Chains A and B, each alone.
Chain A
C-alpha cells in the first residue's frame, strides 16, 4: 500500500527527557488530525515502549513523526531507528514475556497490539528500525 506523507518531523532521542518531548510532539500531530483520545493514548503508549527500547538497548537514535494518508484514511506513522546491536531473533523478541533486560518483555508485543500496523526490522551489528501506524 502506498501512503502519501503530509507532514514530517524528525527528533533525536538520546536521553530520557527527549522521550517526553517526543511524546508531546506526537500528541500535537495526533490532535492536528483530530485523532480521538483513546487512539492518541494507544499510539503514544506504544511509542513510549519503543523509545525506551531504543534508549535501553539501541543506545539512542532517531524518531520520526509523519501524518500519512492512503487516500481514504489519515493516520500517524512513527519510525524509530537506532544503530545499536540489533535483535538476533525477532520472533522471540516479539513474543510476550521475552526479555534480555530482566524485564517483563511486554514492550514489543504490547506496542504491536496498540497500533494498526507494526513493522520491525533488525540486523545484528547494524541496528533496529520499528514502524508504528495508527489510523485516526
Chain B
C-alpha cells in the first residue's frame, strides 16, 4: 500500500474533511470491517467477496479551492463524493463539514445542510423530465417552501447566469446535452451553496462542448468563489481546472497535490501514467526549473523578470530574441533564481531537472 503523499499548499480553513472513510459493498460490511481491525487489505476484501469502493480515505478540502478527484472508471470517485454528501452511507469514518461530523447528523439536520449549503451536478444531469427549465431550476427553492413568484425570480437569475435566457419553458428533452447540463448547474447553484459537488459533469458531452463548458465553469468560479469538489477521469480536464488533485485507485487515494507536483513528483507509476501525455510546459512553472540563486548575492536584473508561478509555456517565447537567462522573482519582487533557455527547453522534451518542490 502506498502512503498518500499529501502536502500543504494554501493552508486556508478546512471546509470539508474525510477521516478514515470506508465504504464496503457486500453482505455485512460493518462486521467484516470490525473483524479486520478496521483496516483490511485490498486482498482480504477481495477474498471475502466485498467491494472496497472507498478505502481508508482521509483528505481535507479548503475553503474556496477547486479540488479535483480523479481516477479510472470504477476507482471509487462517485462513491467517495456520495460519501461526502451522505447519498451513500459510509461504512466507517468521519465526514467533517464546517467542523461537525456529518455522519452524526440526524435526518432533519442533513436535509437542512443539503438545502442550504450543498449543491450537486450529475453526470447524466438528473433533471426532472416532467418539469421545464424554469421549474427544474426553481425546484430546490420550491422544496424549501419559497413562494412561487420569489423562487421563479431567483431561478430566472440563475438561468441567465448560465446563459439559457429565453429557454425557460423548454423541457429537458428539448435541449441538447450541453444545455441540459447548464440547467443542472443552474439548479445546483440556485440555493447559493457553500460547497459545490460536480460528478463528472462534462463527461457526457462531446469535446468541443466540453471545452466550452469548462471555460464557462472557470468563469462562474471567478464570480462565485465556491468550495468545489470536482470529479473527472480526464487528466487534461483536471489540470485545467484544479487547484489540487487527488488521484484514486481501487477506492484509495494514491496522491494529493497540485497538478505540477503530480507531474514532477509522481508517487508511483500509476500517477505518472496519467501525467505522461500532458503538455508539460503548460503545467510546469518557472520556480520548478530555475537555478536558485544565493540570496546573499542578489544580481540586479538586466532583463525584466518573471513571477515564480509563471508557466514555462508563457515565457518560452522570450528566448527567441534573447540569450540571457531570465530572472525569477517571488511575490515580494525579490529575485530568487534564474531560468536558462536550456532549462526551459528541457521541459518540452520532458527532461527537466526539478530543483524545487512547491
The finding on whether chains A and B are genuine partners in a shared complex, rather than unrelated, reads: no
